[in-house]
Chains A and B, each alone.
Chain A
């Protein structure tokens, strides 16, 4: 994704990522990636990584990248959603990977279904459902639906549940998305060897969340994003040539992927330098209030299937849905 029509943003990385205090700074999550049995990085490690790459090939690249980012309102809505997800992650103390997984669900959903123009409430609802689902996959404690701190809207529990089901169906219940986080331990080992450190791990995790704002996660393989993030966290000075040299320790990709890794790497370099090109005006403090109607009915007609020609998926029992599922502005 390119944001060429951009201005400088006030959202540099620190303000984006450091809203949690040190204590809840994913200490345990870092440890997960640090304290691994060295035996893991043996031959079976390579097999494991290869099996992951095989699976990601099957899952991510299949949908024909109907990038949501063509519609400007949706770009904005996506950034709003990500901001909300990152804040809510910090609020609940979720792992970084949970937030990332949520964004992956979000992007996958929107590659398969479209949302009618300017329905900011719908992307807001989608974020809540995706984060709730991601938490159910990853977290020890999953908050009650009513605990999710949505500003600007009130989503009834039933509405969120219905949205969860819609996401599950749209993603065909394949919630085991591979994320870059799955690759971190291995890549850190491969690229950084002895010099691995907790700081490196946390830096990588931060970059992974940061990049969700810049790219549609459907556009890149998780392993590509992971490699770029580890390299950027480890060494911000790589050239294409030195990077290729680094990459040669892993024979997972072809030259096209190396190209992608480098472009992600460059993107991360820019983020690192605080020059993220995300346009300032696209960031609003909470879920947008730009929809002015006072009450919105949730029915699937708002979520058009992106596949085929306007195949609309509509509840037969829409009446019932509409009665039970109201979204109201606060």
Chain B
């Protein structure tokens, strides 16, 4: 596992005292292009490799912010690196290298670069082109996301922080349109017994948080990831976050009443009948007045997502948004769902919706790069960097979700984000492009075997069968990727 990942331990600049004036050896493998993201975790840079074998290959380099003097190596970094080194899957971001800059003991992770992410793709459709995402693209994105997730869950890893900005999509190249799950700063191997989620005082976006967590469940399961996938699925369909609650910002882990309210309004009141363990959840018991007192009327999920009640898409979505985590559909089961067997069939290149023979690549804008910042994170120019906050200029994008970690287990990661203004963005249009070649089911996406029987296995330590065996639905027809 983790093949190809080599940890290097290059010592800082050749015995010159490590003052930082000379580039350390590891850095000399790369041409730095610029900064593409920033968050509480640190910075992300775009670089290209110089080595002859891979010359010009785009690499995202994540630099962890120097932890405080007395903290040592950050637990988030350790956890992320450790998990990334154990996993290898086409739909999971690939860690290429770990660099330790020994002079200042800073850590750099080198990843394969992904040009897009679901946050930007959704935003592009909502704000720029104002048309929905093509059904083929939605299905392919969801398919691949589930595929990666099934792999993680089969390896006992819960991601815990799935959200659109952590779902990357590869740009031009031989992996175009391939989904990569990123940001493992919060991920855990769920070796039993499970620990409370409150570890590290996790504060992440609450919109994708499962109801059992909102109600204070001490133990979480891989079902929390499936809830997030459901929310993301709906967002891909409607271009709006499904449950956009206002976050209560207090520590640690305050009760998020508004978020629950948003969920109940759409899905209706959870009942003990449908969710037997509901009554054991701390917040359900303690906040009787608010959450039990208010009566929510008819569930109206289908009207929010504009899906026919009888459609396969609606059926799948509602199974992902099942209140009881034990009944919630698993990644393996979802991959086996009717939705993925009906036209349009999902494909490897999610960005090429093929219609009537003509294949067009969705040409999403590329990430803006701030070329004025060096690896130290300092500005090489006198003027302040072009940072806009909430600037609606086309192309301005929330940085920091290139590669992992917009959020780390520190309070309010999103708030700390800077926005980098795009430089010369103009490519908001569809351009024709020949489809990438490739046959059916490229070898790296393996096939899933019988999974449906596993109905009620959503246990703390459930194990999806056919690990790493998912693939395109049985009755594939020829589909070009």
- Does A232 interact with chain B (Cβ within 8 Å)? no
Asked if B73 and A164 make an inter-chain contact with CB atoms under 8 angstroms apart, the answer reads yes
When A32-B193, A140-B198, A317-B15 are in contact, do A173 and B98 touch as well, CB less than 8 Å? yes
Asked if B78 and A133 make an inter-chain contact with CB atoms under 8 angstroms apart, the answer reads yes
Chain A residues with CB under 8 Å of B196's CB are: 140
Give CA–CA (A185, B72) in the complex, Å.
Answer: 33
Give CA–CA (A136, B82) in the complex, Å.
Answer: 12
When A33-B193, A158-B69, A175-B78 are in contact, do A316 and B12 touch as well, CB less than 8 Å? yes
Asked if B192 and A40 make an inter-chain contact with CB atoms under 8 angstroms apart, the answer reads yes
- Does B16 interact with chain A (Cβ within 8 Å)? yes
Interface string of A290-327 (1 = CB under 8 A from B): 00000000000000000000000101111111000000
Chain A residues with CB under 8 Å of B19's CB are: 320
Asked if B7 and A173 make an inter-chain contact with CB atoms under 8 angstroms apart, the answer reads yes
Chain A residues with CB under 8 Å of B457's CB are: 44
Give CA–CA (A319, B465) in the complex, Å.
Answer: 54
The smallest C-beta distance from B306 to any residue of chain A, in angstroms, reads: 38
- Does B446 interact with chain A (Cβ within 8 Å)? no
How many chain B residues touch the partner (CB < 8 A)?
45
Asked if B11 and A136 make an inter-chain contact with CB atoms under 8 angstroms apart, the answer reads no
Chain A residues with CB under 8 Å of B135's CB are: none
Asked if A320 and B189 make an inter-chain contact with CB atoms under 8 angstroms apart, the answer reads no
Chain A residues with CB under 8 Å of B9's CB are: 169, 313
- Does A243 interact with chain B (Cβ within 8 Å)? no
Give CA–CA (A137, B79) in the complex, Å.
Answer: 7
Asked if B73 and A165 make an inter-chain contact with CB atoms under 8 angstroms apart, the answer reads yes
Give CA–CA (A288, B283) in the complex, Å.
Answer: 51
- Does B138 interact with chain A (Cβ within 8 Å)? no
Q: How large is the interface on A (under 10, 10 to 19, 20 to 34, 35 or more residues)?
A: 35 or more
- Does B279 interact with chain A (Cβ within 8 Å)? no
Give CA–CA (A299, B13) in the complex, Å.
Answer: 16
- Does A48 interact with chain B (Cβ within 8 Å)? yes
Give CA–CA (A319, B102) in the complex, Å.
Answer: 12
- Which of A39, A40, A161, A182 sits near B73, CB closer than 8 Å? A161
Chain A residues with CB under 8 Å of B459's CB are: 37, 39-40, 44
SS of A interface (majority): helix
Give CA–CA (A80, B425) in the complex, Å.
Answer: 62
Within 8 A of B (CB), among A148-183: 157-158, 160-162, 164-165, 168-169, 172-176, 178, 182
The smallest C-beta distance from B467 to any residue of chain A, in angstroms, reads: 9
Asked if B192 and A145 make an inter-chain contact with CB atoms under 8 angstroms apart, the answer reads no
The smallest C-beta distance from A40 to any residue of chain B, in angstroms, reads: 6
Chain B residues with CB under 8 Å of A168's CB are: 73, 78, 81
Asked if B102 and A172 make an inter-chain contact with CB atoms under 8 angstroms apart, the answer reads no
Asked if B102 and A315 make an inter-chain contact with CB atoms under 8 angstroms apart, the answer reads yes
Asked if B15 and A136 make an inter-chain contact with CB atoms under 8 angstroms apart, the answer reads no
Among B9, B14, B85, B461, max chain A CB count under 10 A is at B461
Give CA–CA (A317, B9) in the complex, Å.
Answer: 12
Chain B residues with CB under 8 Å of A173's CB are: 7, 78, 81-82, 85, 98
Give CA–CA (A316, B100) in the complex, Å.
Answer: 13
Chain B residues with CB under 8 Å of A169's CB are: 7, 9, 100
- Does A63 interact with chain B (Cβ within 8 Å)? no
Chain B residues with CB under 8 Å of A315's CB are: 11, 102
Give CA–CA (A5, B273) in the complex, Å.
Answer: 67
Chain A residues with CB under 8 Å of B246's CB are: none
When A44-B461, A175-B78 are in contact, do A316 and B72 touch as well, CB less than 8 Å? no
Asked if A160 and B81 make an inter-chain contact with CB atoms under 8 angstroms apart, the answer reads no
- Does A45 interact with chain B (Cβ within 8 Å)? yes
Give CA–CA (A313, B10) in the complex, Å.
Answer: 11
Give CA–CA (A160, B16) in the complex, Å.
Answer: 23
11 A-B pairs whose Cβ atoms sit less than 8 Å apart in the complex: A51-B463, A157-B70, A158-B69, A160-B72, A173-B81, A173-B82, A173-B98, A176-B82, A176-B86, A176-B191, A317-B13
Chain A positions near chain B (C-beta within 8 angstroms): 32-33, 36-37, 39-40, 44-45, 47-48, 51, 129, 132-133, 136-137, 140, 142, 144-146, 157-158, 160-162, 164-165, 168-169, 172-176, 178, 182, 185, 313, 315-321
**4 closest cross-chain pairs (CB), A and B:** A316-B11, A320-B18, A136-B75, A144-B70
Interface contacts beyond A44-B461, A164-B73, A175-B78: sample of 14 additional A-B pairs, CB < 8 Å, sorted by A = A33-B193, A44-B462, A44-B463, A140-B200, A142-B71, A145-B72, A169-B9, A172-B85, A173-B85, A174-B85, A313-B9, A316-B14, A318-B15, A319-B17
